[in-house]
Structures are given as C-alpha cells and as structure tokens.
Amino acid sequence: MKFRRTKVICTIGPKSDSKNQILKLARAGMNIARLNMSHGEHKWYESVIKNINTVNKRYGFNIAIMLDTKGPEIRTGDLPDPVKVKKGQMLTLTVCGAVNLAPNTIWINYDHFVKDVRVGDKILIDNGLLKLRVIKKTSTEVGCECLNNYVITSRRHVNLPKISLKLPAITKKDWKDISFAIKNEVNFIALSFVRRAKDIEQVKAYLIKKKVNISVIAKIESHESIPKIEQIIKASDGVLIARGDLGAELPYYEVPVLQREIINICNEMNKPVIVATHILESMIQHSAPTRAEVSDLSQAVFQRADATMLSGETAIGGYPVESVKTMVNVINRIEEEIYKEDMVILHDTSSEKEEMAEAASVMATNLKIKAILVFTHTGRLALLVSRCRPNSSIFAFSRTEGIDKKLQLAFGVYPFHYTAPDNSEKKIMKAFQILRKKHFLKKGDKVIVISDIRITGDKCVQSIQVREI
C-alpha cells in the first residue's frame, strides 16, 4: 500500500460541517480538522466536534482537531454601505466608534491606533488590497492618502507594517476559546499573531495548570515574530506559516524565502511545520486549481513541510472534497519524485533517542525496509524518526491517550492508540496484528522495530530490531 507522508489540514465551515461532508473529507485524505474561532459561536463548534468524533468512532478514522484562535486582530468597523475610494483621495481613520461617521471616515477597532502610527507610515487594508499613507494625525483621527482605487466593505483586516503594536498577545476571547478547547479535548491550539516566545509559554503554562496535554502551535503572521523566530519555534510544539498576513506585513518577495527558512529551522528543532493560506484559493470558486497554485503546493512538499492547509477551499468553497483530492494528488506525485532515490536527512545529535532514530532510519533505507515501527509514550521518538524523513513508512504505537491524534501532524507517521501487555514481544505481535488487519503490511514484509526490552524486573533497554511479519 502507498502511504502519503505530508499531512492535510482542512478548515471546517458551512460547506463542510455535516457528518456526511466530514466523512467525505476524511476519505479524501484529511488528517486534521481546523476550527477557525474568528467565525461562529461555541454551540456551532461543539456540533462540529461531535460530528468529527462520530466519524472517527463509526468509520475508524483518526482525525485530530485544531482550534485556531482569532488573536488580537485590527479590523475596520461595520459600514452601512461599501465605501469607494480613488487613488489620491483622502480617507480618515478614527478610533471614536462606528456610529454617525462623517463621509469618507472609517472606524478602526484598536484604541492605540492613533498613538502607534506615525506620519509617513503605510497602512494596509484587506490584506494589502488597499494601501494608505499617513499624512496627518489628531488625538482621535488619522488622515490618509489612498495609494490605489478600492471598495472598502465591513470588518476588513488592517495591517501596520514595521509598527510595534501595543495589542495584547492573547485577548479575552482567546482565553474563552482556549477554555473551550480544554473542555472539548481538542488536540492542537494554533495561537494567532504570536510575536514572542513568551506568548506561547503563557498558554502552555495555563494548559499545564489545567493538567491537559494540548499541543500549542505558533502562527507566524506578524513582522514582529521574524527577528525572534528561533526562540518562538523552540518554545512551541509546532509552527503554522500563515502567508496571507505575513505577506501583507512584509514585502511579498520575502515570503518564499522565509517559508523555506522556517521549514528548515523546524526540521532541525524537531518541530512540525504547516504551510498555509492561498494554497488552492481558486478552488473556492472553480473545480480545478491554477498551475501556479499547483507549483506553490509542490514547493511546500519539496521543502519537506509536515502539513499543508486548506482554508476557504473547504470552509466556504464550492468544491471542498475536490480541493482535498487535488491536494492529495499533488502531494503524492511530488513525494514519488522526492523518493525516487534513497535518502535520510541526518542532524546533529545529542541524545541516545536521537541516535536511535537516525540509526533506524539509515538501516531501513539501506536495507529497503518497508516500515519502521515505533513504540512511544510521549510521541517524541516518533517525531525524531520523522525528522530524518526516511523512505520507509513510520507506524507509531502509544498507550498514552491522545498521542495518536497529536502525531497526526508528523510527517510520514501513521499513529495508533492501543492497549497491550507490558511484555515486549506481546506488544510487538499485537502491533503486527493491527497492521496486517488494516492491510498496511503483509506476511513476509520486513520491518524495523524500535522498542524497549525488559531484561530483569523493571529494568529495560532500548533496542532496534529487524523483524519479519
């Protein structure tokens, strides 16, 4: 059986929230379902989580759930009618509220907006589709020159490139949504607009206090995060490269370079990395992608990202299932090209587990071994094998609740939660039985097993074994 290594994340929305649609997405290749907390109420999210859990239980899937916080966004206010502006026209941005606005005036929902911007600064509205230059300021208003024609509608996103903001790292809404994530036992929290490692550490400390094991993913979408990127990655359990806002805050030509750099750092630090935003954007309205989108997706796969993510394509688009199938087809073709040659990516090692993971990966590749079986309590050993990007499939078995879902984000890893006796040989035989039953392996296949072996009493040693099914 052919195994896809790069994982697929799908955003759930009105076009994909039913049990039937979630099942179709799972069959098409979805590994993780993303809940975007910028839209919808908790009651709706609860129904989606219930549907995902039903599909997992009824049909034998292992779909993990990622909750994506709204974060401290700056947006324009509600408008009774769209505001049409022309290049060279003056537009006023105010912090005084959205009621009884003067003509050509728009409310901004950030109280420190006037204090933070300076004359000469550029302001971007709606992900940069409208560009403004600050001409003058009062205590409550900012007068801007429009640098292009545009039609402004309600609640458009505002970016302030090169400006250090006084926004809170985590809003009151975010904390409510994090509590919702704990209550509903989601597997990942993607923290929006992370600017420093402290933002991640604050949430992780709260989760530890609540005695829950939820991975915290740092969303990289602010220019302020880039100088501190290594510290942020080190503090996090993984990274999501949100290229839309990042491309609005930085020159667009910097985004591909940063994407490659961030992926490389994550691989070296053994942290899963997700590439997101606009990957198959045209499939919101069309049944096939553009060739440029296919090339963009291909680059993420060539760069060995752990996962690629669909947003509007599966949340609100007209072709959610087709979008997943398209993504899977592209991933499969590029991985086929990558793995024409035997390869293992080696890293500097500083622990026995790192050495074991690399040794097992090298052995599997040199001996043309079909699969590597990893028995893990925390998932770390499976991630270390994944980091080597071996040709072989990686099957991870854990008796710890929730580890199977968290490993859904790891490149090339197929995780299982299982119950088995402490006896080393019996648990290996149980794993073989599971893999044969699912037709992942067959009798006579050779595998490498990384497992502990009990030698006396409670004393165990780690072992790498070549076994035959």
Q: Which residues contact 192 (CB under 8 A, 6 or more apart)?
A: 68, 69, 70, 71, 72, 73, 174, 219, 221, 242
Mean pLDDT of 386-409: 95
Which residues on neighbouring strands pair with residue 453, listed in sequence order? 461
The token duo for 195 is: 């600017």
What is the reported pTM? 0.93
Residues noted as catalytic: 34, 75, 219, 277
Q: How confident is the model at residue 348 (pLDDT cuts 50, 70, 90)?
A: confident
**455 pLDDT above the threshold of 70:** no
**Domain boundaries, given as residue ranges, for the chain:** 7-72+168-338, 83-159, 352-468
**146 pLDDT above the threshold of 90:** yes
Q: How confident is the model at residue 423 (pLDDT cuts 50, 70, 90)?
A: confident
**27 pLDDT above the threshold of 70:** yes
Q: How confident is the model at residue 149 (pLDDT cuts 50, 70, 90)?
A: very high
Percentage of the chain exceeding pLDDT 70 = 98
Residue 157, helix vs strand vs coil? strand
pLDDT in the model for residue 456: 61
pLDDT in the model for residue 24: 98
pLDDT in the model for residue 451: 83
352-468: what CATH class? alpha beta
- β 7-11/32-36 pair status: parallel
**372 pLDDT above the threshold of 80:** yes
pLDDT in the model for residue 74: 92
Query: Across all residues in the chain, what is the average pLDDT?
Result: 94
CATH number of 7-72+168-338: 3.20.20.60
CATH fold group of domain 83-159: M1 Pyruvate Kinase; Domain 3 (2.40.33)
